[in-house]
Chain A
Amino acid sequence: MDFGRLRRVLAACALLLPLAAALAQEEPVAGGTAIVVLGADPEHLNPGISTSYPVGAVGANIYSGLVRLNAEGRPEGDLAESWTVSDDGLVYTFTLREATFHDGTPVTSADVAYSMNEVEGPNHGRFLNAYQRIAAIETPDERTVVIRLSEPYAPLISLLTVFDAPVLPRHVYEGTDPLTNPANFEPVGSGPFRFSEWVRGERVEIVRNDDYFREDERALLDRIIFRIVPQDVARSTAIEVGEADLLWGFYLPPADLPRLEANPDVQTWQGITIPALYFVFVNTQSEGLSDPRVRQALMHAIDIEQIVEQAQGGLGQAASGPFGAGFAYAYSEETDYRTLYPYDPERARELLAEAGVSDLTLRFVYDSARSAFASAGEIMRDQLRQVGITLLLEPAERAVMVDRVYNRDYDLSMQSFTSGGDPAIGYHRIYLSAEPGTPFVNATGYSNPEVDELLAEAGALADQDARAQVYDQVLEVLARDLPVLVMFDELNTEAASADLRGMRTLLDQRDGLEFLWFAR
């Protein structure tokens, strides 16, 4: 028996006991105000016409969707009490709960149909993907919504959340232009919080909705203040000095994490919520990059671990392939990039020699506001130099970067994409053939009819096993062609006041603020 080890374990238990006891005793307490940091003013407060992060952050807590995604990413009813799907995957029938908007008007199926047909269908970047496949939305009675699809679409349910298809009050919006309706600034939702006040550049305030339809989940806090802090250093400072209570990873500079972790008044968290990937696009139409062997060489020449450690503050896990670690059905051990393309400069040099490429000079274009991308670029420049490739760092302001990359005026570009909760929502667009010029769709110029066909099939299959088989074939082709250098799965982070509880009860960090409370 190793007594030294036993002693250490016992000592650790003794230290943890009071903490465990304290946690066990904690009962949710009602009341109080939490201050949540936003990096920028929302443009408005209507998540039905925007995919913007701050709009979703505030809007998700004022509005409701048909469904919500729990912490594991599985759909649960939100305004929908239950739903059924026809065997052919074409007809979805939802039964609504009894709920009212904040102005007292009942929520009906007509509000759902109106929101999708008139507001989100034409105006929501992400919901559009589903809407293009919706043939009709029927409302046989006030509590029933029937969505008929023209073709099966696996991610449909994931796109019916408050972020993509919030249920807006028809009586407020009908007959107006939804883009300019004043309710976009003073929203009337059916969610756990009501809109209270918005001082631009300073804060948005929401207060508890005492008539919230989910009676056992009425908000614990009296109010939440979203405080606008544009500068990243100032956001960490606000948490440190107690001027704010919650800071999401989206706004938290990774470099500040060690400082926040060392502060006893602050709790930090790391993990994966909605899977997201960091990768390097390769312009396959650039000179010297059209040969897959060159792209494989690049993958071998880049030490991902070093980038994660030094550029990302350790917030990442080397990725297994084009769909990352988020989806078990979209993974295959045979095509795991970590075993196929380990860091191996020697192998990289061999592949480059095979491809007959030497003295390659590549332009690395990235968003200058993302300091982690700049650091990654510097590290890559050193690593690629060792295999004889010169990397020119070309930072560009975001709007310019988007123009350049999606018009394929670049060689390599670092990007990060969220999966949106399903590979078909977030990742298919990277690999599907497309003409240049559409932002956020196929920047690499890669085009493979086989991949197009297989991805379309995978997007339509609701059965996960059947889907897994199709993805297996896709993974095989992509692992060989390597149009994108997949780097790492993003580890999400969060910093909060030490006594804040109830975070991340739902999948999206911004959602479910009604569960927050203070242990004091």
Chain B
Amino acid sequence: MSGASEAGRSVWSYVLGRVLNAVPLVLGVVVVNFLLLTLAPGDPVTALVGDYPAPPDYVERVRQQYGLDRPLPEQLVRYVASVLRGDLGYSFANRQPVATLLLERLGRTLVLMLTTVVVASAVGLALGVLAARRPHSVTDAAATGFALAGYAVPEFWLGQILILVFAVWLQWLPAGGFRSVRESYEGFAALLDHARHMLLPMAALSFRYMAITTRLTRASLLEVMNTQYIVAARARGISERTILWRHALRAAALPVVTVIGYNFGFIVAGSALVETVFGWPGIGRLMYDSIFARDYPVLLGILLLVSVTVIVVNLVTDVLYSVLDPRVRY
């Protein structure tokens, strides 16, 4: 009893330590992002004014309005101070608070991302196990081949091919959007409609992560299957099935968990492309639009959100480690 609570306490103090460590990290991310963005060529005022000549005094007024006339260090200090107060700023292009914009989009991206992570991890794990059970068999070759293809094909290209085949030629699934605009469904029908719209973008987005997970599961499982304790388990007459599922997979899952966490960061980047191809109105799309508009506050907000997500996911991954591997202690 006391041992368990001791272990519990140590996990929590570990988590607390990690969170405290993350604060300067996030601040650093904010500063670096701010500098990278503002030092990049291109002027948000040009994007704001449109494609028509505006008199210099008008441009100057817009610049003042958004604080762009201030020296860079002052802009940076003001921005960091407002982020610390929980204020992410005001979007130049959308004329709305950044937080409102992000919240509106976040849900849709999370639905897409979480489903992608779950499906890609589950399928990847299953394929990896299948391949590792009989190395160099036909199943293995098929799974490995699939993984190679998945690794090589870019998401946006795959997305376009999927649209061409399933939306244009076969007309089975919608070509884009996140629900039908012509019909307005309610209740379960609405849910089904969303699901139909999500199938193709999810497939485009998950292919790569499925592939990575397959390869890693296979490699890691093969390695574990050759270790002493598995050989010992076999010698004790434990069935192959029990060895695989109870002993080997648990050990082999460690690097896989790491990579699933790691994938999160990449899925955010990938979602920018996939969301644009499929017209999925999420964070990725917003990021894409904001780059062209030089909408710094929105871009900074998204980058901050992504950084925090990556930090949190890393933390969760590390904690999961201790659950999966009894040797890991904090």
Q: Indicate if the CB atoms of A43 and B41 lie closer than 8 Å.
A: no
Chain B residues, Cβ within 8 Å of A233: 160, 163, 277
Q: Indicate if the CB atoms of B285 and A230 lie closer than 8 Å.
A: yes
Distance to closest chain A CB from B38 (angstroms): 13
- Chain B residue nearest in CB terms to A201: B281
Q: Indicate if the CB atoms of B175 and A202 lie closer than 8 Å.
A: no
Q: Taking the complex as formed, is A10 at the interface, i.e. its CB lies under 8 A from any CB of chain B?
A: no
Distance to closest chain B CB from A448 (angstroms): 19
Q: Taking the complex as formed, is A12 at the interface, i.e. its CB lies under 8 A from any CB of chain B?
A: no
List B151-183 residues whose CB lies under 8 Å from chain A: 160, 163, 167-168, 171, 174-179, 181-182
Q: Taking the complex as formed, is A334 at the interface, i.e. its CB lies under 8 A from any CB of chain B?
A: no
Distance to closest chain B CB from A391 (angstroms): 22
Q: Indicate if the CB atoms of B288 and A438 lie closer than 8 Å.
A: no
Q: Indicate if the CB atoms of B176 and A128 lie closer than 8 Å.
A: no
Q: Indicate if the CB atoms of B49 and A203 lie closer than 8 Å.
A: no
Q: Indicate if the CB atoms of A441 and B53 lie closer than 8 Å.
A: yes
- Chain B residue nearest in CB terms to A401: B42
Q: Indicate if the CB atoms of B177 and A240 lie closer than 8 Å.
A: no
Q: How long is the Cα–Cα vector from A199 to B95 in the complex, in angstroms?
A: 15
Chain A residues, Cβ within 8 Å of B65: 179
Q: Indicate if the CB atoms of A225 and B181 lie closer than 8 Å.
A: yes
Q: Indicate if the CB atoms of A440 and B181 lie closer than 8 Å.
A: no
Chain A residues, Cβ within 8 Å of B96: 185
Q: A18-26, A44-52, A60-68, A449-457: which one contacts chain B?
A: A44-52
Q: Indicate if the CB atoms of B54 and A397 lie closer than 8 Å.
A: no
Contact partner of A237 (CB less than 8 A), chosen from B49, B58, B168, is B168
Contact partner of A234 (CB less than 8 A), chosen from B163, B286, B288, is B163
Q: How long is the Cα–Cα vector from A201 to B56 in the complex, in angstroms?
A: 32
Q: Indicate if the CB atoms of A230 and B289 lie closer than 8 Å.
A: yes
Interface of A is mostly: loop
By size class, the interface of chain B is 35 or more
B262-302 near A? 1/0 per residue, CB < 8 Å: 00000000000000111101100110110010100000000
Q: Taking the complex as formed, is A238 at the interface, i.e. its CB lies under 8 A from any CB of chain B?
A: yes
Distance to closest chain A CB from B201 (angstroms): 11
Q: How long is the Cα–Cα vector from A185 to B101 in the complex, in angstroms?
A: 13
A300-335 near B? 1/0 per residue, CB < 8 Å: 000000000000000000000000000000000000
Q: Indicate if the CB atoms of B42 and A397 lie closer than 8 Å.
A: yes
- Chain B residue nearest in CB terms to A429: B53
Q: Indicate if the CB atoms of A243 and B175 lie closer than 8 Å.
A: yes
Q: Indicate if the CB atoms of A230 and B52 lie closer than 8 Å.
A: no
Contact partner of A202 (CB less than 8 A), chosen from B46, B50, B177, is B177
Q: How long is the Cα–Cα vector from A429 to B55 in the complex, in angstroms?
A: 12
Q: Indicate if the CB atoms of A128 and B288 lie closer than 8 Å.
A: no
Q: A residues touching B (Cβ–Cβ < 8 Å)?
A: 33, 35, 40-41, 43-44, 50-52, 122-123, 125-126, 128, 132, 179-180, 184-185, 199-203, 225, 227-231, 233-234, 237-238, 240-241, 243, 369, 397-400, 402-403, 429, 438-441
A sample of 27 inter-chain contacts (CB < 8 A) reads A35-B181, A41-B94, A122-B58, A122-B61, A125-B50, A125-B58, A180-B95, A184-B95, A185-B96, A200-B101, A200-B105, A203-B181, A228-B281, A230-B276, A230-B279, A230-B288, A234-B279, A241-B171, A243-B182, A398-B47, A399-B44, A400-B41, A403-B41, A438-B56, A439-B46, A439-B53, A440-B53
**Closest CB pairs A-B (n = 7):** A201-B281, A399-B42, A125-B52, A51-B50, A440-B53, A441-B53, A400-B41
